[in-house]
């Protein structure tokens, strides 16, 4: 009963993102999650719905402005991250597939980006587990560390929102950390992160071409498309262009925030001891080193 009880409590207003993630992980690692198959399927659906719902509480003009402001920084940071990840993977003697998956997850949007390019790269199941496990651990740490660091160095809401979007892997943890910093940080973080996620498509095309050239694959798989971004923009456009919908949009956004908390509980509930054991020291060292470098560089960028 602990999994459904924890899921229900996550939807209550007092439930926080950090508490939900830790609670889900504690349940999974102590008594186990008998619903793992179902919670694993539900998590990406709930995350997509939560992101779309958050769009209903945002002004499209502010969304476009925030996305445009972060465009150059996003492009530069993705390029630097992929290059640095390649160097660190060789330094830590991590396999090419694992190093590339961790680098892509760090550069764009964590587990979502990794899952999107798996059909293209066709790595082994164990390699995917290692990359996802590494990203999960760092996402969990970021949810607690980033708000504390943001306050310590005196970041304002806009700076913190942009830093979250540039330096935290998964969209769920980006939004979860920004929620702790206020509504303005949440708006900036969500917008910049979703604009960042759009780079999955061109990156996947580049990977397909690379696979054909280096591996001789005539028909590599197709990457998954982040369609929820379109839903976010449409929801934001509706409440912006039809003002009478704004009160409803505000309510939808509030509900979506709690759905995000539920998503983080399920994320923790899907953690297993096998996932932790699969990570290994070298991939973890690669993930931590790359993440620390990118977090430091992006922090300097948002402060300048």
> CA-to-CA distance for 240 and 52, rounded, in angstroms?
14
- 50 pLDDT exceeds 90? no
Once rounded to an integer, what is the mean pLDDT over residues 41-62? 83
Output the 3-class SS for 226-281.
Answer: CCHHHHHHHHHHHHHHCHHHHHHHHHHHHHHHHHHHHHHHHHHHCCCHHHHHHHCH
> CA-to-CA distance for 271 and 92, rounded, in angstroms?
25
User: What percent of the chain is predicted at pLDDT more than 70?
Assistant: 93
> CA-to-CA distance for 201 and 189, rounded, in angstroms?
20
Q: What is the model's pLDDT at position 210?
A: 75
Once rounded to an integer, what is the mean pLDDT over residues 264-290? 82
> CA-to-CA distance for 131 and 232, rounded, in angstroms?
27
User: In 3D, which of 74, 36, 31, 63 has the Cα closest to residue 196?
Assistant: 74
Span of 14-23, 33-42, 254-263 with lowest mean pLDDT: 14-23
Output the 3-class SS for 38-66.
Answer: HHHHHHHHHHHHHHHHHHCCCCHHHHHHH
Q: pLDDT, tens digit, for every residue of 243-270?
A: 898 899 889 988 988 888 888 888 888 8
As to burial, measured by CB atoms within 10 angstroms (0-12 exposed, 13-18 middle, 19+ buried), residue 135 is: buried
Q: What is the model's pLDDT at position 297?
A: 92
Which DSSP letter does residue 170 get?
S
- 291 pLDDT exceeds 90? yes
Q: What is the model's pLDDT at position 91?
A: 92
Element spanning 179, H or E: helix 171-179
Q: What is the model's pLDDT at position 148?
A: 93
Considering the chain, what is the average pLDDT of its residues?
84
Burial call 68-97: b when 16+ CB within 10 Å, e when fewer:
ebbeebbeebbeebbebbeebbeebebeeb
Q: What is the model's pLDDT at position 157?
A: 93
As to burial, measured by CB atoms within 10 angstroms (0-12 exposed, 13-18 middle, 19+ buried), residue 227 is: exposed
User: CA dihedral defined by 72, 297, 162, 227, rounded to 10 degrees?
Assistant: 60
List, as one string, the DSSP characters of 197-222. Answer: HTTHHHHHHHHHHHHHHHH--SSPPP
Q: pLDDT, tens digit, for every residue of 94-113?
A: 988 889 999 998 988 887 78
Q: pLDDT, tens digit, for every residue of 115-134?
A: 777 777 778 877 887 888 88
pTM of the model: 0.78
Q: What are phi and psi of 188, to 5 degrees?
A: -65, -45
Helix, strand, coil fractions of the chain, as percent rounded to 5: 80, 0, 20
User: In 3D, which of 14, 283, 299 has the Cα closest to residue 168?
Assistant: 299
Q: What is the model's pLDDT at position 226?
A: 64
Q: pLDDT, tens digit, for every residue of 143-199?
A: 889 999 999 999 999 999 999 988 998 888 898 899 889 888 988 888 888 878 777
Read off the pLDDT band of 216 (50, 70, 90).
Answer: low
Q: What is the model's pLDDT at position 219?
A: 54
**Residue 156 three-state SS:** coil
């Amino acid at each position: 009963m602990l999994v459904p009880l924890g899921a229900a409590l996550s939807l209550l207003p007092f439930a926080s993102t950090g508490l939900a993630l830790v609670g889900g992980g504690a349940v999974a690692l102590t008594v186990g999650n008998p619903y793992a198959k179902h919670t694993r399927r539900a998590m990406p659906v709930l995350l997509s719905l939560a992101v779309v719902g958050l769009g209903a509480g945002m002004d499209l003009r502010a969304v476009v402005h925030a996305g445009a402001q972060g465009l150059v920084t996003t492009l530069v940071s993705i390029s630097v991250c992929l290059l640095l990840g390649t160097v660190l993977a060789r330094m830590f003697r991590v396999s090419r597939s694992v190093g590339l998956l961790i680098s892509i997850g760090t550069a764009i949007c964590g587990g979502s980006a990794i899952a999107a390019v798996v059909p293209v790269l066709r790595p082994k199941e164990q390699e995917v587990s290692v990359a996802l496990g590494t990203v999960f651990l760092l996402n969990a740490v970021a949810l607690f560390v980033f708000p504390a660091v943001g306050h310590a160095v005196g970041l304002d809401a806009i700076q913190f929102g942009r830093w979250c979007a540039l330096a935290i892997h998964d969209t769920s943890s980006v939004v979860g950390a920004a929620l702790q910093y206020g509504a303005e940080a949440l708006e900036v973080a969500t917008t910049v992160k979703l604009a960042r996620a759009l780079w999955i498509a061109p990156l996947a095309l580049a990977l397909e071409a690379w696979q054909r050239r280096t591996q001789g694959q005539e028909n590599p798989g197709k990457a998954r498309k982040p369609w929820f971004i379109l839903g976010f923009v449409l929801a934001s456009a509706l409440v912006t262009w039809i003002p009478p919908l704004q009160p409803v949009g505000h309510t939808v956004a509030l509900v979506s925030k709690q759905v995000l908390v539920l998503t983080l509980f399920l994320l923790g509930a899907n953690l297993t001891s096998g996932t932790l054991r699969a990570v290994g020291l070298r991939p973890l060292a690669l993930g931590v080193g790359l993440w620390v470098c990118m977090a430091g560089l992006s922090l300097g960028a948002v402060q300048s």
